[in-house]
Chain A
């Protein structure tokens, strides 16, 4: 039996490790010891999460903001799942960055913020109430801004500020929602199915529904949901690839978790099912799914294309949540892991190409598959998964999403066919914007006036390849054996509905 204070370990360990790198750069100004330090903190943090995952829910009351706002941690199943995905992927992205950023400037700062963000993310996953969640959410925003601005070019600083402003607006909407909601709450801790006091809500249903939409929009900012998605395609591509990978794959999921918590653990789906909020929200997610894929399809810059793809794919998850049907929620939760694994791999491969071959545009990638075979194989395999072709995890999640769309109730009937249709069109567009890259890479066309191509190998070093390979393997393995995950999520969905 784990003592309850243990919950602080996975949060504080990386934060302290990060502070040490940032403030003292502990072991001289040399690269190697710093890398070792960061790597071991990353690995230890990942290990320290494991005991929490395999023990029953822990609860820990920390301190109070003002005199009545408890900061409270609890490791329930949802939190554990997100913590598992986030810590694992974050750790691998950290190792990838050792290769990717080798020889760059300002490394102590990068590693410091990278580690601290990992700790705050664990705080986010284990938040036991909305105030704690909000606190970690804001801190996460602040800690990731330096990652976006890392290159310190005018472009990246401008993108960082855009990111900051959008995030602050989103967080303010959330805050607005929280304190509007506070009078209706019966307690200050998340519980499956919501914690609103039915008596207090009676007569104010419309207010609560409006608040739910405000909070969904607020958290939707981080998840890149229309209409506050504008920062994402600007901020993700300018960061170093190792940071864009986690920004796209993990940080967007903080928005998802926020919506999941506020809709299913705070307000309760029963109140919202069939309301105008559900219809509005679902329409926004579907619009985002379609718009993101379309704009990704039209984009030539590889990393920007991937960023638009994130806009689209994260809204798949939000769509699943907006169905408020158990099957849809299972699909959403599956897609969280699928997108986290896949998008990280895609950005990592893009990073390898940028670093090794110095190509940033899609039309420069003719024949890159011959020069960087491992990287491009990873890229292709996970692309197939993101399109939704079996046996990748992406297929399973989309299957459940479509099933959920078909069987949901409460919304006007035409959504049941419109939603799967949009998901399908978007999947086709996904194939269009991802698989064309692979085709260019492996089957370069013959061009009459093109300069003679360079064929020498420029494969990335092993420290960058191993994380990519691991993520790719996992996304396929989970696609072949999704049973355990599905059972877990069905339990969760049954609990909240």
Chain B
């Protein structure tokens, strides 16, 4: 089952350009959507039939096995992308009518799906690392898709950061494999003797791995690739750089923390303090940078960087509560942020405006888009009863329950960041509704400009889910809580 879920999008994407579809082609859309939907349905069936699913591919060389295993934590991430990918593709069909080379775009876009499934269901460190690197390479063509100066520069920066920092992860991978810790096991694989012998080395390796995998989650000091990469077409920024790729980074960090090194040996040591500090600084600094940013998509990207570090804070707390909060935020933030990007993209294609100061008064020509944006913005700020509050609350509670000064510091950082979040998102909302249209937009704004159904439907569905999850998050949270080792 798992093999089909991985190969179907890989092959489907790879074969798509063979069809040589014209620029505007209904058939290409139907085929892509069929492949993506089928994959999602298969994943859903697999998840409901029961986990764990296992599949060992082959042993590349002794000690390095490519193996896939889908456990509870994978299922959270898999469920999220399986839900979002078909919707984002649907959005993409409409969006890409305004860009060139759609064949190449949808090919890479669909291949990405397969690779993300690989990351989520990797059964050991080696496989995860490979999938992680593949994900970087596969997203590159998507980032430079527009093929103008800006996007090529963005792709170069992206590659430099992510490949460069992944070298740190590679260091951790090699050393861990040498010490016999390549497998994943809940609570960590390394026996106590090894910890006793190489304690500080292992902790140093952990910090390296945190940075190496965390770079995809845009942790400081490696954050700035994310806003730059928002030069990519919006379906990429929305799905990959707000959900799939960045969550893959956070997911890998959680994996390494809980399944390779094990939280017991890290909790309370300098390594934990270091990573917690890095994550907390990212949370606050990136939201402050978002306040300063005037470009809408880049502002959202800074916000993503900040929110991804919420997840990392949850992981770095190294308690079950913290992991629950982290995984909840992984899901809920993904849902909220993708709508914000969808809205920004809709504004971009319909009006060509991309700066916050240019979108004043857009609630009149684009009421639907602005309404979805506003609901999700309020949710990201974390105002009950919308779902953003739920994950933030669990994270805050977890931070305080550690009882350590570092935990309380983390809690304070999360609170400060939500104030900043309110500033940088709600100021956009007020600009939509309470500022008059600027002179140059006056004539354009007299008509109705909401996008077509292919864009509206994904936004409406996900926004509805954001609201529903706020009122009724019990099943999700209980499920995630039951996964924590």
Contacts and interface: CB of A to CB of B under 8 A. Distances in A.
B397 A65 contact: no
Contact of A172 (B385, B415, B434, B471): B415
A65 B385 contact: yes
A369 interface: no
Nearest to A132: B384
Interface string B436-475: 1000000000000000000000000000000000111110
Given A146-B434, A169-B419, A131 B384 contact: yes
B389 interface: yes
A67 B473 contact: yes
Given A71-B385, A142-B378, A157-B434, A179 B473 contact: no
B383 A65 contact: no
B393 A65 contact: yes
Given A138-B384, A179-B400, A66 B393 contact: yes
Contact of B430 (A164, A169, A172): A164
SS of A interface (majority): helix
A146 B433 contact: yes
B423 interface: yes
Interface in B320-339: 328
Contact of A168 (B396, B422, B430): B422
A223 B173 CA distance: 56
B478 interface: yes
9 contacts: A63-B471, A67-B477, A135-B389, A149-B434, A172-B418, A179-B411, A180-B400, A182-B397, A183-B400
Given A66-B477, A131-B384, A157-B430, A164 B390 contact: no
B259 to A, nearest CB: 24
Contacts of B430: 145, 149, 157, 160-161, 164
Given A67-B474, A67-B477, A165-B419, 17 more contacts: A63-B385, A65-B390, A65-B393, A65-B473, A66-B394, A66-B473, A131-B384, A138-B384, A142-B378, A152-B436, A157-B435, A160-B430, A160-B434, A175-B396, A176-B412, A179-B397, A179-B400
A134 interface: yes
A64 interface: yes
A180 B378 CA distance: 23
B383 A142 contact: yes
B8 interface: no
A168 B400 CA distance: 21
Nearest to B385: A135
Interface residues of B, number: 37
Contact of B396 (A63, A138, A164, A179): A179
Contacts of B381: 168
A145 to B, nearest CB: 7
Contacts of A69: 393
A139 interface: yes
Contacts, number: 88
The 10 residue pairs across chains A and B that have the minimum distance between CB atoms: A135-B384, A168-B422, A67-B477, A149-B434, A138-B383, A66-B390, A67-B474, A179-B396, A172-B415, A157-B434
Q: Which of A134, A135, A156, A175 has the most CB of B within 10 A?
A: A175
Nearest to A134: B384
A308 to B, nearest CB: 25
B481 interface: yes
Interface in B379-403: 381, 383-385, 389-390, 393-394, 396-397, 400-401
B459 to A, nearest CB: 17
A309 B473 CA distance: 44
Contacts of A169: 419
Nearest to B393: A66
> In this complex, which of A164, A165, A172 has the most chain B Cβ atoms within 10 angstroms of its Cβ?
A172
B189 interface: no
A138 to B, nearest CB: 4
Contacts of A157: 430, 434-435
A16 B366 CA distance: 24
A139 to B, nearest CB: 7
Q: Which of the four size classes fits the interface of chain A?
A: 20 to 34
A172 B433 CA distance: 25
Contacts of B481: 67
B427 A64 contact: no
B80 interface: no
B426 interface: yes
Greatest chain B CB density within 10 A among A66, A69, A134, A149 is at A66
B393 A139 contact: no
A424 to B, nearest CB: 38
B401 A183 contact: yes
A496 B181 CA distance: 59
Contacts of B435: 152, 157
Nearest to B325: A66
Nearest to B473: A66
A143 B435 CA distance: 17
Contact of A161 (B328, B401, B415, B427): B427
A139 B473 contact: no
A1 B96 CA distance: 61
A67 B478 CA distance: 7
A175 B393 CA distance: 9
A179 B389 CA distance: 13
A146 B393 CA distance: 27
Contacts of B423: 165, 168
Contacts of B397: 179, 182
Contacts of B419: 165, 168-169, 172
A65 B470 contact: yes
Given A139-B383, A152-B435, A176 B422 contact: no
Contacts of A180: 400
Taking each of A71, A149, A179, which has the highest tally of chain B beta carbons within 10 Å of its own beta carbon? Answer: A179
Interface in A461-484: none
B400 to A, nearest CB: 6
Nearest to A169: B419
Contacts of A168: 381, 418-419, 422-423, 426
Contacts of B401: 183
Interface string A95-130: 000000000000000000000000000000000000
A92 to B, nearest CB: 27
Name the residue in B397, B401, B427 with the highest tally of chain A Cβ atoms < 10 Å from its Cβ: B397
A145 B481 CA distance: 37
